[in-house]
Structures are given as C-alpha cells and as structure tokens.
Structure 1
Amino acid sequence: MIKAIIIDDEINAQNLLEKTLDKCFPNKFNVVEKCNSVDLGVVSIKKHEPDLVFLDIQMPEKNGFELFKYFEVIKFEVIFTTAYNQFAIKAIKRSALDYLLKPINNQDLSDAVKKFENKTKGSFAQKKLTLLLENLNVNNQHVSKIAFPTVEGFELIHSNQILYCKAESNYCCIKKIDGQTNMATKTLKYVEEILPDNSFKRIHKSYVINLNYVVRYNKINKEVELTNGEKLPVSFRKEEEFINVILTSH
C-alpha cells in the first residue's frame, strides 16, 4: 500500500481526489490523512511519514511551496495539484516534478501515479524540491539549472550550457557546448516550454537553439551556424520570426 496525504484547503477537492484514487487504484492507496492547510500538513507528514503527498499550491494562509521550509530532509515524493498558474507550472517542470491541473482527470492522475511507482525509493525527492525552490526564486532570465527527465532519473543542466535541442521521436537530444549530449525522455515541445524563452528559439520542427551561440545565418541555404561549427536548418515558416529575434536581441 502507498501511504499518502492530501493537502488541499477545499474539502470537496480532498474527497474527490481520494475517491478517484480508490476508483483508479483499488487497494493501492492508504490515505492516512487529509489536511486543509500547510501547517496541518507539516504535522501530518511528520507523524505519518508518507510515501507520497498530493499538495495544492494555492491555499489562503500559506501556499504549498512553503511546506518544504519545515523539513531539513525530504523523504517523500510530491505531486502538486493546482489551478492554472504558468509561472508555478514552469518552475515545477524545470525541477522534474509532477503536477495535476484541476479539475483532475483520471488519465492524468493515473499517469502521475504510474510515474511515481516507477521511481526508485527515496530517489531524488530532496534534490528536485531544492531545485524547485531555487527556480521559484529566480526570474525567467536567470534560470540556474533545469532538471531534464532521463531513463535513469534526471540530469541537471545549466541552461547556458545548452547549445541546442533536437527532436528524437518522443525523446529530445540535448547538445551541450562541451560536446556532450543527453537524452531527455520528453518531447521537444515539452523541453522548449521549460527553457528560458529569452535565450531559446524554435527554428525548425526538429530544433530549438540557444541564441547566444549563433555565429551567422545563411539566407540562401536557410542554415544557422553555431559556435561549434554545426549548421542547422531554419524552416521557411520560422525564418522571419528567427531573423527578427536575432536582429532585436543582438
């Protein structure tokens, strides 16, 4: 049985999530407590030592992110539940954490729980939540590190170390300025969304590049050359937008 705690200030949301867990995963979850505030959640976590916490972000007195200030060591995994909040979601994604958008649908819940089950015990919760707090404290222009999900777990990469990202079916190849590559188990579209949008630009259905490493653009061949000498294609649909960005930002 997976020992779980639900923290949400809305009683109806608590009950609905518990019922959905019972329906989708019969006899798999033991929801030991439902709490309607961060403070009660902290007490409950320390008392029950759960495997998994479903944590609402928007709550009246303290938001969900404040929960982690009360733990020196984080031994539980977290799935955030939230109404739409682009900034918070981007920070969560950059930290390789899971979230569910309210109203929660069964398929999203099922996917999140399966991902939780596939993780090794006590795997990376501490690192990911520490990174989340860092990402919440910086603006988009100064993203320090991004956690890219990989087959083994996740890889922490500074955004300024990334030369470009290339679509590889449902995965994404991340090419770094030191010549190394990492394979993220996410689509290029997902990766594009978590990269700082002031530095990175989609130039083709298969490529997102770091504008800081552009050397030149060949308008005849429709190719952009990067600092490592590689030349990547720029699609006709993306060309005008790409040129405008280069001219206005450099």
Structure 2
Amino acid sequence: MIKAVIIDDEVNAQNLLEKTLLRYFPNKFNIVAKCGSVDAGVEAIKNHEPELVFLDIQMPEKNGFDLFQDFKVINFEVIFITAYNQFAIKAIKRSALDYLLKPINHVDLADAIKRFESKNEGNFAQKKLSLLLENLNVNDQNVSKLAFSTVEGFELVHSNQILYCKAESNYCCIKKIGGKTKTATKTLKYVEDLLPVNSFKRIHKSYVINLNYVVRYHKANKEVELTNGEKLPVSFRKEEDFINAILQNK
C-alpha cells in the first residue's frame, strides 16, 4: 500500500480527498496522517516517512511551499492541491510536478496517481522540488530552466537551448540547438504555455519556434529557416503574428 499524508487547512477537504482515495482506489492507500497546517505536516512526514504527500498550497501562516524548508533531503513525492494562483501552477508545471485543482475530480486524481506509480523508486523528487522553489523565485517572463516530463522521468532544459518544439499526437518533440531531440509526454500546447513568450512563437499547428534562431523567412514558400538549416512551415493564420513577433524581437 502507498503510505500517504494529506496536508490541508480545510477539514472538509481533507476528508473528501481521503474518501475519494478509499472509494476509487480501494486497498491502495494507507492515509497515515491528515494535517491542518504546514508545521503539523512536517512532523507527520518526519514521523511516518510517507511515499506521497497531498499538499495544499494556500494555507494560513505558512503556505505549502514553506514545508520544504524543513527538509535537507526530500524522499517523498508531492501532489499539490490548489484553487488559485496561476503563477504557482505555472511554476509547478515547469518543474514536472503534479497538481490538482479544487474541487478535486476523481479522473484527474487517477491520472496523477497513475503518473506517481509509473515513476522509478527514489527518482527525482529532490531535484524537481528544488527546481520548483527556484522557479517560484524568478520573474515569470524570464524563467530559463524548464523541466519536461519524459517516459524515463523528466528532462531539464534551458529555454535558450531549444530550437523548436513539434507536436507528435499527444506528445511533443523538443529539438535542441545541438541537434538532439527529446520527447515530452505532454502536448505542444502544454509545453508552449511553459516557454518564455518573448522568445517563442507558434508558427503552425504543429510548431513553436525560438525566434532567436530564425535566419530568414521565405514569404513565397511560407517557410521559416532556422540556424541549423531546417525549414519549417508557417501557416497562413499565423503569418502576420509571426512577422510582427520577428520585427519586435530584433
């Protein structure tokens, strides 16, 4: 069974999550503690050493992110729970961590648990949470280091290393300037939302490019040429926005 701790200042929310877990995932979870504050959650984690923590972000006195200041080594996975704060959600996404929006939907919960179970033991919890705290402390438009979920775990990539991103069904291929390609287990739209808006532009339903690596635009062929020599299509609907973005990015 998965040993878990629930940390939420709302007792009703604690109980609802526990009931949902027990109803939809019978004999899978052992809820060893339900806590109403960060300090109580810290004590519960130290006493019970859970594998998984369901952590509310907005709580009085201390928010969920403050919890990690009490741990030198993080050897548990976290699924964040929140009802607000789009910036916090973006930072969580950038760090390849899972989150659930209140009110919690059992389908979304199932997806998050499936991802938790598919991860390797003792994988990247420490690195992901360290990256999260780093992402929370930088300007939203200038985040350069991103984490993309992959089949193996997650890949850390600086945005200035990305040449372009290409849609592949429900996955996204990330082409780096060195020639390597990584496949993220997320859609192109999901990845696009993580990228700095000043440097990246959607040029086609299948492509988002880094404007810093554009060499020229072939208007007759509606193709953009990148520094590696590749030519990518620009759709009619995206052409005007793309040209304006290039002119502003000089």
TM-score by length of 1: 0.98
Name the residue aligned to 1:7: 7
* 1-structure distance, mates of 2:53, 2:113: 11
Q: Is residue 99 from structure 1 mapped to residue 133 from structure 2 by the alignment?
A: no
CA displacement at 1:26 relative to structure 2? 0.7
Determine the C-alpha separation between the residues in 2 that align with 1:85 and 1:201: 25
CA contact (8 A) 1:33 1:44 kept: yes
Q: Which residue does 1:153 correspond to in 2?
A: 153
Aligned residue for 1:78? 78
Question: Percent of aligned positions with the same letter in both sequences?
Answer: 81
Between 45-54 and 213-222, the greater mean CA deviation after superposition:
213-222
1:127 maps to 2:127: yes
The aligned amino acid for 1:238 is: K
Gaps of 5+ in 1: none
Trace 1:1-250 onto structure 2 (pairs within 5 A): 1-250=1-250
Deviations, residues 125-175 of structure 1 (Å, cap 9, x unaligned) = 001001111111111333131111111111111111000001111111111
TM-score, structure 2 normalization:
0.98
Distance apart, 1:230 and its partner CA: 1.1
The separation in 2 between residues aligned to 1:187 and 1:141, in whole angstroms, is 21
Distance 2:243 2:37 in 1: 49
SS of 2:54's equivalent?
Answer: strand
Matched residue type, 2:46: K
Q: Deviations over 1:199-229 (max 9, x none)?
A: 1111100000011111111221111111111
Write the deviation string for residues 90-138 of structure 1: whole angstroms up to 9, x where unpaired.
Answer: 1111111000011100100011111111111111100100111111111
Amino acid at match of 2:172: C
Query: Which SS does the other structure have where 1:238 is aligned?
Result: helix
Contact (CA 8 Å) 2:80, 2:100: kept in 1 or not?
Answer: yes
Unaligned runs of 5+ in 2: none
Residue type of the alignment partner of 1:192: E
What is the CA deviation profile of residues 42-100 of structure 1, one whole-angstrom value per residue up to 9, with x for unaligned ones? Answer: 11100110010000011111111111111000010000000132111111111110000
Query: Stretches of 4+ moved more than 6 A in 1?
Result: none
Q: What letter matches 1:245 in structure 2? A: A
Deviations 1:169-193 (A, max 9, x none): 1111111111111111111111111
Counterpart CA distance in 2 for 1:186 and 1:51 is 25
Select between 211-220 and 137-146 the one with higher mean Cα deviation.
137-146
